[in-house]
Amino acid sequence: MKKIFSKGLALTLAGLLMTTFLYAQMDKSKRPSPPEIATGTAAGSTITINYSSPAVKGRKIWGDLVPYDKVWRLGANEATTFETSKAIKVEGKELAAGKYTLYAIPGETEWVFIFNSNVKPGLWGIKNDGTATEDPATDVLRVSAKPEKSGSMNERMKFTVNANGFDFEWDNLKVPVSIQ
């Protein structure tokens, strides 16, 4: 009887420990690239960008970790999303109110930002082969922007929404995107 009780207690404790471990894994704030939200107003519209924020960690980012001239999911983990409460013009091109998956094609002298209509909950942003989940057939808008050197080194990737649009910054790079 004592042996059965101690086995039962051990199994219960092991189950409790596993449940606690699994719950901790679901806490996205504990990830190496934690989730972030950038929100603000541009052109009278509320803009919200949801993304995961990777760190430089001493790595060469541009042209290495993030290759040039290939579609990139703009961050880590789930795909980055961009939401606008009203119709806006991004770099002079019309974008209807709504929620989009946001991708980019980084280049040394020009970046292309892609607003895509495929906004599935839990969309990871990359496929098993490492390529982005962006499908050109569901692209809504592509705009170009010029990268520049940022005012300071940014260890973590970040977006900032301001009255002029949004800025993407990571490492020593900044890419401003205008919204009217």
Considering the entire predicted model, what is its pTM? 0.82
Decide if pLDDT at 8 tops 80: no
The pLDDT score that the predictor gives to residue 29 is 65
Region 157-169: mean pLDDT is 98
pLDDT band for position 114 (cuts 50, 70, 90): very high
The pLDDT score that the predictor gives to residue 4 is 56
Sign of CA dihedral 69, 74, 77, 79: negative
- pLDDT tens per residue, range 30-71: 866 789 999 999 999 999 999 999 999 999 999 999 999 999
- Looking up tokens 């980012």 gives 61
User: Per mean pLDDT, which range of 69-78, 86-95, 104-113, 165-174 is the poorest?
Assistant: 69-78
Cβ within 8 Å of residue 24, ≥6 positions away = 30
Strands (DSSP E) found in the chain? 35-42, 45-52, 81-84, 88-90, 93-95, 98-105, 111-116, 139-145, 148-162, 165-178
The pLDDT score that the predictor gives to residue 30 is 81
Measure the CA–CA gap between 7 and 9, rounded to whole angstroms: 5
Region 61-85: mean pLDDT is 94
Half-sphere exposure of 173 (CA within 13 A, CB side): 20
pLDDT band for position 20 (cuts 50, 70, 90): very low
Residue 122 main-chain phi, psi, to 5 deg? 80, 5
What is the Rg, in whole angstroms, of the alpha carbon atoms belonging to the chain?
20
Region 87-115: mean pLDDT is 98
